[in-house]
Structure 1
């Protein structure tokens, strides 16, 4: 499989890279496997690539998808307030003038600086400090779910210990 889109919550949960959500990573910083295939080892990895690591299927199969991160997300979650309830827009470390006008000019943009559930509201917007669950990662990323399903299928065919995922990241 080629490169997956950037999904920092998955990167944080699985490998500890850009772990804004504060997950306890499954497989951080291992480097490439010692017995990696020659095809993998022959890849010319660019200087900008980092965080080489890998994870075996049994580790992925043991993830408790109902578990929550040990702390709140560093990114404050933004919602549009609608007649049908809040609609998730996104999450980021910086929220611009609208958030600053409500939270205060010197407010810390990191969600982990505030208690879980802290909210700011202005007009049709709400910003909220939240904690993610492992399951939130799968719900937000159908390609990750497809990758894990493929790995599960391969493990059923070739054995759990014969399936692993090697990854690295760019800057």
Structure 2
């Protein structure tokens, strides 16, 4: 079973001390992107990022419209202001390699990422050996296995890799930045929770 994100963007149009209001910004388009979940909130953090805003719970002053979005069975409630997101160094690397081994198809244009997974199928096992560990973090960065038109590689992600892979997250952050330019970075926040 996978993990999905839900929540909303809140703003304080009248500044600090005023009530938070739910902005007209939907999170419905956000995909199940574990690298983004891990980097921002520490949820499904297979890539080993130092999360920006993990485990904060719901804000004590969350608005009623936001609270109305909650449902049973959610977990890992947390939040982050635009000011905190604006200070993220998008060129920084994760402190360790990704737990998932990255799989590439070798093409005439160069390697094409097929996916990342904690457990690979028979083809990878035949190359790496039956007793090979399926966790990328068990191997030095850059370790590779090749067979036919496939390559499996142990890699370390950067914060920027998350944005490049997720145009919906970029669009959400752009919208938050627009709100922050109007209301101030500490008066715009993203409040989220997860469902597994």
Report what 1:26 is aligned to.
52
* TM-score, scaled relative to structure 2: 0.85
Q: 1:44 to 1:54 in 2, by over 3 A?
A: closer
Report what 2:78 is aligned to.
53
Of the structure 1 ranges 82-91 and 63-72, higher mean CA displacement relative to structure 2 is found in: 82-91
Structure 2 residue 113 is the aligned partner of structure 1 residue 85? no
TM-superposition CA deviations, 1:68-127 (whole Å, max 9, x none): 000000000000111221111111011100000000111111000000000000111000
Report what 1:110 is aligned to.
135
Specify which structure has the higher proportion of helix: 1
Secondary structure of the structure 2 residue equivalent to 1:10: helix
Question: Which consecutive residues of structure 2, in runs of 5 or more, have no partner in the other structure?
Answer: 1-25
Q: CA deviation at 1:159?
A: 1.1
For 1:17-166, list aligned pairs within 5 A: 17-47=43-73, 49-166=74-191
Secondary structure of the structure 2 residue equivalent to 1:99: helix
Distance (whole Å) between structure 2 residues aligned to residue 115 and residue 2 of structure 1: 36
Q: CA deviation at 1:11?
A: 0.2
Question: Which consecutive residues of structure 1, in runs of 5 or more, have no partner in the other structure?
Answer: none
TM-superposition CA deviations, 1:34-86 (whole Å, max 9, x none): 11001122334222x10000001111000000000000000000001112211
How many residues end up aligned between the 2 structures?
Answer: 170
Structure number with greater CO (CA < 8 Å, separation at least 6) is 2
Secondary structure of the structure 1 residue equivalent to 2:161: helix
* TM-score, scaled relative to structure 1: 0.97
